[in-house]
Amino acid sequence: MPEPLLLTDLRAATMLPGGAAYGVIGDAAIAIEDGAIRWVGAARDVPGDLADWPRRGLGGRLVTPALIDCHTHIVHGGDRAREFEMRLEGASYEEIARAGGGIVSTVSATRAADEATLLKDALSRVDALIAEGVGCIEIKSGYGLDLETELRMLRVARRIGEVRPVTVVTSFLGAHAVPAGEDADRYIDEVCLPALEAAHAEGLVDAVDGFCEGIAFDTAQIARVFDRAAALGLPVKLHAEQLSHMGGTALAARYGARSVDHVEYASAADARALADAGSVAVLLPGAFYTLRETQAPPVQAFREAGVPMAVATDLNPGSSPLGSLLLAMNMACTLFRLTPEEALAGVTRHAARALGLRDRGEIRAGLRADLAVWNVETPAELSYRIGTNPLHTRIVGGQS
Distances in whole angstroms, Cα of residue 389 to Cα of each of 71, 134, 157, 233: 21, 12, 25, 40
Convert the pLDDT of each residue in 352-400 to its tens digit. Answer: 999 999 999 999 999 999 999 999 999 999 999 999 999 999 999 999 8
The residue type at 200:
H
Residues tagged in the binding site annotation for N-formimidoyl-L-glutamate: 143, 316, 318
Q: How many Cα atoms occupy the beta-carbon half-sphere of 345 within 13 Å?
A: 19
- Whole-model pTM? 0.97
pLDDT digits (tens, 9 = 90+) for 311-354: 999 999 999 999 999 999 999 999 999 999 999 999 999 999 99
Least confident interval from 78-92, 180-194, 294-308? 78-92
Q: Which amino acid is at 29?
A: A
Q: Which of 173, 162, 160 is nearest to 121 (CA)?
A: 160
pLDDT of 72: 98
Please report, in range form, the residues annotated as the binding site: 71, 73, 80, 143, 176, 239, 242, 314, 316, 318-319
**pLDDT, averaged across the chain:** 96
List pLDDT tens digits, range 130-159. 999 999 999 999 999 999 999 999 999 999
The yes-or-no verdict on residue 1 having pLDDT over 70 is: no
Q: Residue 100: is its pLDDT beyond 80?
A: no
In the prediction, which pLDDT does 330 show?
98
- For the beta sheet containing 391-395, the strands, ordered from the edge strand earlier in sequence to the opposite edge, are 36-42, 24-33, 5-13, 55-65, 371-374, 391-395
Nearest to 66 by CA among 331, 351, 328, 341: 351
- In the annotated binding site for Fe(3+), the residues are 71, 73, 239, 314
Task: Flag whether pLDDT at 99 surpasses 80.
Answer: no
- pLDDT of res. 96: 81
Each residue of 217-237: pLDDT tens digit?
Answer: 999 999 999 999 999 999 999
Cβ count within 10 A of residue 27: 13
**Phi and psi for 299 in degrees, rounded to 5?**
-60, -40
CB proximity list for 169: less than 8 A, separation 6 or greater: 70, 136, 137, 138, 139, 206, 207, 355, 357
Q: Which residues line the annotated binding site for 4-imidazolone-5-propanoate?
A: 80, 143, 176, 242, 319
| Confidence category of residue 21, pLDDT binned at 50, 70, 90 | very high
Stretch among 65-69, 93-97, 161-165 having the lowest mean pLDDT: 93-97
Residue 23 has what DSSP assignment?
G
